[in-house]
Structure 1
Amino acid sequence: MMEAALGVAIVPSLAASMLSDTLTLVPLRPRLERRLVLTGPTTRPWHPNVTAIRDLCEQHGALTPAG
C-alpha cells in the first residue's frame, strides 16, 4: 500500500532492509527505547537463542548486569 502512495506506515527500523528503493524511512521523534530483560534457568544452560541475544548485547555494550 505504501508503494502505491495510499498512506503511511509506522514500522521498526529493522524493516529497512525489506523496503524497496522507492520507499524512505523517516525517524519519529521522540525516540523510544525499550529495556530487554533476559532470564533463564540457573540449573541448566539457556536456550541457544537467548545466549545469542545476550552475546550480541554484550558485544554492543547494551548489557547491564542485574543488580
Structure 2
Amino acid sequence: MVEAGLGVAVLPSLAGSMLPGGLTLVPALPRVERRLLLTGPATRPWHPHVTAIRDLCQGTGPAM
C-alpha cells in the first residue's frame, strides 16, 4: 500500500535495506525506545538459540 501511494507504515530502521526503490525512511521524532523481553518455560530448559540470543543481549555471548 505504501509503494502504491495509498498509505504509510511504521517500521524499524533495520528494514531500510529491504525497501524498494522510490521509498525512503523518515525518522519519527521524538525518538521512541522500547524494552524487549525474552521469556520461556520455567519447567524445562530454553532452546539453545534462545539462550544464545539472551547471552548476546547481556553481553556475555561471543563477539560478532
**TM-score class normalised by the smaller sequence:** 0.5 to 0.7
Q: Which has the higher contact order (CA 8 A, sep 6+)?
A: 1
In the alignment, structure 1 residue 49 sits paired with structure 2 residue 49? yes
| TM superposition score normalised by structure 1 | 0.57
| TM superposition score normalised by structure 2 | 0.59
Q: Percent identity?
A: 73
Name the structure 1 match of 2:12: 12
* Runs of 4+ with >4 A deviation: 39-44
Q: CA RMSD in A?
A: 2.5
Unmatched 5+ stretches in structure 2: 60-64
Q: CA offset at residue 21 of structure 1?
A: 1.9
